[in-house]
Amino acid sequence: MKDEIVRSCVDCGSTRCDEESGTYPHFCLSQHMAEGEKEALIAAYGDEENYKIMLNAAQIEYEGYCKLCRVEETMEFARRMGYKKIGIATCLGLIREARILTKVLRANGFEVFGVGCKAGEIRKTAVGIPAECENLGEHICNPIYQAKMLAEAKCELNIVVGLCVGHDSLFYKYAQGVTTTLVVKDRVTGNNPAAALYNAEGYYRRKLFPQKGQE
């Protein structure tokens, strides 16, 4: 017997939870907040930096809704936050995109410092990765070093461009300062991972869902 699924927002799917008149399922997270939790969250957003980030994000969303692309939104966010120096943590597989982004940012008055994923030249076997993995390249992707270098360069905003799954997790873990993601790598869908979700009940069904007898 399988364990009972713990229900959450993804099991509801309603987008009416931001309305006072919304209807809520019995497992609604908003309706079951611990006593004092909402007040604690409001206090957290009252932190000076948190408030500034949330305020600017909300205003950019409102003013640029369906008008500004993600690159424009990122630059506008940096301007409103007063950030002058931007760091780019890029996969070398997207170095072309990172170089174009750098040109755009510099043309708009920002200072840019970028670090590629292979910087540091550490062999995969040196960190315990099986030797067979070196068939795709000898050196590890090095997100901890990327985070360290961007911090040492005193970058005020970090932008992730196409780091691999897991490597991006380590970058976020070690990054100092504010970080946002511009490009998510997906080698199969042309860096558009949502494409697999849009086709999850069509072309991608056999790839994403277990087939009968394989559960």
55-112 pLDDT, tens digit each: 999 999 999 999 999 999 999 999 999 999 999 999 999 999 999 999 999 999 999 9
Same domain flag for 126 and 158: yes
Place of tokens 């042309």: 190
Q: What is the phi/psi pair of residue 200, to 5°? A: -65, -25
In-domain check, residue 165:
yes
Same domain flag for 80 and 175: yes
* Rounded distance between C-alpha atoms, residue 182 and residue 161, angstroms: 6
Question: What range defines the domain where residue 152 resides?
Answer: 69-184
Same domain flag for 79 and 171: yes
Same domain flag for 90 and 177: yes
In-domain check, residue 13:
no
Model confidence over 36-71: pLDDT tens digits?
Answer: 999 999 999 999 999 999 999 999 999 999 999 999
**How do 178-183 and 157-161 pair as beta strands?**
parallel
Model confidence over 17-28: pLDDT tens digits?
Answer: 767 666 788 898
Q: Is the pLDDT of residue 135 over 60?
A: yes
Contact residues for 111 (Cβ-Cβ < 8 A; gap 6+)? 84, 85, 86
Bridge partner list, 112: 86
Same domain flag for 86 and 43: no
Count, residues in the chain: 215
Same domain flag for 75 and 177: yes
Alpha helices in 4-142 (DSSP H): 9-12, 37-45, 48-64, 70-81, 95-107
The pLDDT of residue 102 = 98
Confidence of residue 13 (pLDDT cuts 50, 70, 90): confident
Same domain flag for 122 and 137: yes
Percentage with pLDDT > 90 across the chain: 83
- Taking residues 5-18, what's their average pLDDT? 85
How many domains does the chain fold into? 2
Q: Is the pLDDT of residue 2 over 80?
A: no
Q: Between the CA atoms of 184, 185, 189 and 192, what dihedral angle is there, to the nearest 10 degrees?
A: 10
Residue 153, token pair as written in the block: 């360069």
* Rounded distance between C-alpha atoms, residue 50 and residue 65, angstroms: 22
CATH, residue 144 = 3.40.50.11840
Q: Is the pLDDT of residue 151 over 80?
A: yes
Among 126, 203, 113, smallest CA distance to 158 is for 113
Confidence of residue 215 (pLDDT cuts 50, 70, 90): very low
CA distances from 47 to 53, 74, 118 (A): 10, 22, 36
pTM as predicted: 0.92
Same domain flag for 63 and 102: no
Q: Where among 43, 67, 91 does a domain terminate?
A: 67
Mean pLDDT of the chain: 93
